[in-house]
């Protein structure tokens, strides 16, 4: 049996990646190996195990990838212990206060806040890319009326590959166009799927409107009724998108990187990310939070009882807990404030908001949640904003997908521009039967 110990040691740097010259010393089966240490710009440290199997015959095993760095990235920094989130170095709080989704999308994608000219060009390109091929409208009539909009979104986004073929060699202009298509068309597809679900005619996008205004108008106007754009709602939805724009190597983004690493078609690759997002432990949680709050409200179950059920593992307190944050998710703080402001300004009292506040208050005094570092995450209050803006609950995760699109695309782009790019292919430790032989059916008992 091998005995492994890891010690830090100093040796010369050996490789092409940014390294410190430090190594970790691994003692395995009586042999010593030096594993390079990689340090990020925010002093996060990793042991580079990329040569581990080749040198030792061992692999690392890390259920749920809690300790595995799958890439080195320049896009988003999270310090989960301190509750810090920055896009390209800029704190999320500053962006939420001063920026817009479109500007932030440019920052995430291309690394810098755009100049005025760049922003105008980017916005114009998004506007000019908002229509989807007219033949795609047939798809929307083919789905059952009660189809979940996420089911429609995944399918129609993947189908864009049939209507907008991607050249084999993606040069910069082609890449820019693909990025604009996905960012802009997902919004159109989302609104069309909603219109289909309520049996209303679709409303086409308009180049006269800005990103969020355009989306809200496609969603809520009809041929017989104009939609009044409320600046508070426009800003709330814009900030909602901005707060979701990237979150480093989460489940859906890792899916995009994994699927994209096979050089798959970008529309299909993003569709895979949307599928991963849909699950209720990830982006689907925003819908589940509001379902949970409504359940508590309608079934006369007190918040105290619900928290007790969560502690007994009969329920999950949806919108609580996070793999990376061991304290408040900074996005949750911002969203809670927006929710407060929006409801106050509109003079709306939402009993679900009161239940959410109560659940948070109880949980944050309870040792079960404190000892496990379970705090509200981005989904805890976000659904209430969307509810106040008039979105039905089954559209919440669709809105998350619209917001996350810049992140998926930026991570996909970064991966393909990385000189060390290779197909992602994890290994496993096989625990099944050892060699045995085929038994004919007549001899099986």
Catalytic residue flag (residue 282) = no
Catalytic residue flag (residue 367) = no
Token pair 């084999």 is found at: 168
> Should residue 326 be labelled a site residue for ligand ACO when binding is judged by CB under 6 A?
no
Which of 281, 302, 346, 351: binder of ligand ACO (CB under 6 A)?
Answer: 281
> Should residue 378 be labelled a site residue for ligand ACO when binding is judged by CB under 6 A?
yes
Q: How many residues bind ligand ACO (CB under 6 A)?
A: 20
Q: Provide the minimum distance between the beta carbon of 323 and ligand ACO in the complex, in angstroms, as a whole number.
A: 4
Write out the two tokens for 116: 């005025």
Q: Which of 33, 40, 34 is nearest to 17 (CA)?
A: 40
Which residues neighbour 149 within 8 Å (Cβ) at sequence distance 6 or greater? Answer: 190, 193, 194, 197, 394, 395, 398
CA 329 from chain centre, in angstroms, equals 14
Q: Provide the minimum distance between the beta carbon of 74 and ligand ACO in the complex, in angstroms, as a whole number.
A: 22
Which of 14, 222, 372, 418: binder of ligand ACO (CB under 6 A)?
Answer: 372
The answer to whether residues 47 and 401 touch, using CB atoms and an 8 Å cutoff, is no
- Report the site for ligand ACO in 174-203 (rule: CB under 6 A): none
> Should residue 240 be labelled a site residue for ligand ACO when binding is judged by CB under 6 A?
no
Q: Which of 68, 71, 59 is nearest to 427 (CA)?
A: 59
Distance (Å, rounded) from C-alpha 426 to C-alpha 257?
13
Region near ligand ACO per CB under 6 A, out of 142-150, 221-229, 279-287, 413-421: 279-287
Which of 47, 317, 343, 388: binder of ligand ACO (CB under 6 A)?
Answer: 317
The answer to whether residues 246 and 407 touch, using CB atoms and an 8 Å cutoff, is yes
Region near ligand ACO per CB under 6 A, out of 145-153, 160-168, 185-193, 370-378: 370-378
For residues 383-415, b (16+ Cβ closer than 10 Å) or e, as one string?
bbbbbbbebebbbbbbbbbbbbbbbbbbbbbbb
| DSSP type of residue 21 | S
Distance (Å, rounded) from C-alpha 152 to C-alpha 158?
10
The answer to whether residues 121 and 177 touch, using CB atoms and an 8 Å cutoff, is no
Region near ligand ACO per CB under 6 A, out of 53-61, 112-120, 277-285, 415-423: 277-285
Region near ligand ACO per CB under 6 A, out of 82-90, 174-182, 293-301, 309-317: 309-317
Q: Provide the minimum distance between the beta carbon of 243 and ligand ACO in the complex, in angstroms, as a whole number.
A: 10
Which of 26, 243, 285, 398: binder of ligand ACO (CB under 6 A)?
Answer: 285
Catalytic residue among 48, 246, 329, 379, which? 379
**25, 363, 433, 441 from 437: Cα distances, Å:** 43, 55, 11, 13
**169, 294, 303, 408 from 298: Cα distances, Å:** 55, 6, 12, 37
Q: Provide the minimum distance between the beta carbon of 304 and ligand ACO in the complex, in angstroms, as a whole number.
A: 15
Catalytic residue among 322, 340, 367, 417, which? 322
Which residues neighbour 174 within 8 Å (Cβ) at sequence distance 6 or greater? Answer: 166, 167
Q: Which of 18, 60, 61 is nearest to 36 (CA)?
A: 18
Write out the two tokens for 294: 């409504």
Which of 45, 323, 345, 365: binder of ligand ACO (CB under 6 A)?
Answer: 323
Nearer to ligand ACO, 119 or 308 (CB): 308
> Should residue 382 be labelled a site residue for ligand ACO when binding is judged by CB under 6 A?
no
Which of 164, 320, 381, 391: binder of ligand ACO (CB under 6 A)?
Answer: 320
Region near ligand ACO per CB under 6 A, out of 95-103, 259-267, 371-379, 423-431: 371-379
Q: Interface with ligand ACO by CB under 6 A: which residues? A: 64, 281-283, 285, 310, 313, 316-323, 372, 374, 377-379
């Amino acid at each position: 049996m091998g005995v492994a110990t890891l010690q830090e040691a100093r040796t010369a740097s050996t490789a092409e990646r940014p390294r410190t010259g430090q190594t970790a010393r691994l003692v395995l089966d009586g042999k010593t190996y030096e594993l390079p240490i990689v340090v990020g710009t925010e002093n996060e440290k990793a042991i580079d195990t990329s040569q581990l199997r080749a040198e030792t015959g061992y692999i690392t095993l890390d259920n749920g990838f809690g300790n595995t760095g799958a890439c080195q990235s320049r896009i988003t920094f999270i310090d989960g212990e301190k509750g810090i989130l920055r896009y390209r170095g800029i704190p999320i709080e500053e962006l939420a206060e001063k920026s817009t989704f479109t500007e932030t999308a440019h920052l995430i994608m291309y690394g810098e806040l755009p100049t005025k000219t760049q922003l105008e060009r980017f916005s114009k390109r998004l506007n000019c890319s908002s229509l989807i091929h007219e033949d795609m409208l047939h798809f929307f009539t083919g789905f059952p009326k009660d189809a979940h909009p996420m089911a429609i979104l995944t399918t129609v986004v993947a189908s864009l590959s049939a209507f907008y073929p991607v050249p084999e060699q993606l040069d910069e202009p082609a890449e820019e166009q693909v990025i604009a298509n996905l960012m802009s068309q997902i919004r159109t597809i989302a609104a069309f799927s909603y219109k289909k679900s309520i049996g209303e005619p679709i409303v086409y996008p308009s180049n006269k409107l800005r990103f969020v205004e355009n989306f809200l108008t496609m969603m809520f106007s009809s041929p017989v009724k104009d939609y009044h754009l409320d600046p508070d709602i426009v800003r709330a939805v814009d900030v909602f998108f901005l707060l979701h724009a990237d979150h480093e190597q989460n489940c859906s983004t890792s899916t995009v990187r994994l699927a994209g690493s096979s050089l798959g078609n970008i529309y299909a690759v993003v569709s895979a990310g949307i599928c991963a997002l849909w699950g209720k432990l990830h982006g689907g949680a925003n819908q589940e939070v509001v379902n949970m709050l409504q359940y508590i409200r309608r079934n006369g179950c007190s918040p105290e009882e619900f928290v007790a059920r969560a502690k007994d593992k009969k329920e999950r307190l949806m919108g609580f807990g996070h793999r990376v944050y061991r304290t408040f998710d900074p996005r949750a703080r911002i969203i809670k404030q927006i929710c407060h402001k929006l409801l106050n300004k509109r003079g709306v009292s939402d009993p679900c908001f009161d239940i959410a506040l109560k659940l948070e208050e109880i949980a944050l005094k309870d040792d079960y949640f404190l000892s496990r570092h379970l705090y509200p995450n981005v989904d805890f209050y976000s659904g209430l904003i969307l509810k106040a803006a008039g979105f039905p609950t089954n559209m919440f995760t669709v809105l998350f997908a619209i917001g996350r699109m810049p992140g998926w695309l930026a991570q996909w782009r970064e991966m393909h521009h990385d000189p060390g790019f290779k197909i992602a292919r994890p290994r496993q430790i096989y625990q099944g039967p050892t060699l045995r032989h085929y038994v004919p059916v007549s001899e099986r008992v």
